[in-house]
Amino acid sequence: MTADQVTADSAPAARANPAPTTDDATAPAAGTAARPAPAAAAVPTPPVAPPRVLTVAGSDSGGGAGIQADLKAMLAAGVHGMSVITAITAQNSLGVQGAWDLPVEAVRAQFRSVVDDIGVQAVKTGMLSSAELVRTVAELLGGVDCPVVVDPVGVSKHGDPLLAEEAVSVLRDRLLPLATVVTPNLHEVEQLTGVRVEDERELRGAAEAVLALGPRWVLVKGGHLPGDAVDLLTDGETEHVYRAPRLPNRHTHGTGCTLASAIAARLARGLDVPEAVAGAKEYVTGAIRAGFPLGGGIGPVWHGWHGTP
């Protein structure tokens, strides 16, 4: 008998007594109730992306201000922070040791990469040290439809200049008219408008001078005045005054960046401007209270204070 004959002849026998299949093996014995089939596994719901906020600012190598502070404040506010780096600074608790602008082509490419793919629901601008950078960012922001918070950074916490003199007029004429909110401190108010504020009663006049440059709202930060810390928010029709006792903590590096980013994050979440500013002010007050020493100079605010055990 050949091998072919053996296979052919034995095949019927194999078919007559087939091995039990999986279904056969698991079938209930006669007289046994069938078990219900297992329920189909639930399909998990894909997570929903949080609101997206873009910061266009300089990098602080010490992590206290700039892009680094912005992203920490955004995370604390429950949004996804993204960045366009405009300049690199060598910076620590003692001051700024060096600063280098990025080419406008690099700034433009970063912006387009984020906006064209991911999209943005709010933008915050910070350090834009040259007229060319201000002009480029203003051009880019003209094509987005979302709230824009402008922090018109003029000097660092230690008094180091961060805005070229020739850039001031470009910021005033091209960027401020695009702002939903602009957040100048008293030095920046004077730099932009020539108005010098030495008393709380002069905050309203300062705000009116900034509003004349085109933003929808202005938040004048009066933290450099003696006494309580007083800020004034206005759109020219309504006013909101934020007053808080001055905290006995010198470690306040990054407060301006943090405040503007916290406002932008809340606008992206759908709050109106007064609500966003009030929430951001409360957050920053806690961050200042929790500010900590770092290095030999002025330490940063603590962005994670509300999550500290």
Out of 252, 281, 285, 299, the active site residue is 252
Q: Is 159 a catalytic residue?
A: no
**Binned average pLDDT, 10 residues per bin, the chain of 309 residues:** 40 44 48 63 84 98 98 98 98 95 98 98 97 98 97 82 89 98 96 94 96 98 87 97 91 96 99 98 96 96 84
Pull the structure tokens for residue 21.
Answer: 């299949």
221 catalytic? Reply is: yes
Residue 105 belongs to domain spanning: 52-303
Q: 118 with 52: CB under 8 angstroms?
A: yes
pLDDT at residue 245 in the model? 86
Q: Which two tokens stand for residue 25?
A: 């093996």
**What pLDDT score was predicted for residue 37?**
66
Alpha carbons 266 and 287: distance in angstroms, whole number: 16
Is residue 27 included in any domain, yes or no? no
Answer yes or no: 78 catalytic. no
CATH of the domain at 152: 3.40.1190.20
**Exposure class string for 2-35: b at 16+ Cβ within 10 A, else e:** eeeeeeeeeeeeeeeeeeeeeeeeeeeeeeeeee
Catalytic-residue membership of 95: no
- Asked if residue 47 belongs to a domain, the reply is no
Q: How many domains does the chain have?
A: 1
- Within a domain: residue 180? yes
Any catalytic annotation for residue 146? Answer: no
- Non-local (6+) Cβ contacts of 247 within 8 A are 229, 285, 288, 289
Question: Is residue 37 included in any domain, yes or no?
Answer: no
Active site residue 2: no
* Any domain includes 56: yes
Judge whether 44 lies within some domain: no
Catalytic, out of 81, 126, 254, 299: 254
Any domain includes 62: yes
Task: Tell me the pTM.
Answer: 0.85
Which one of the listed residues 66, 257, 286, 299 is annotated catalytic? Answer: 257
Supply the pLDDT for residue 36: 66
Catalytic residue among 221, 285, 291, 299: 221
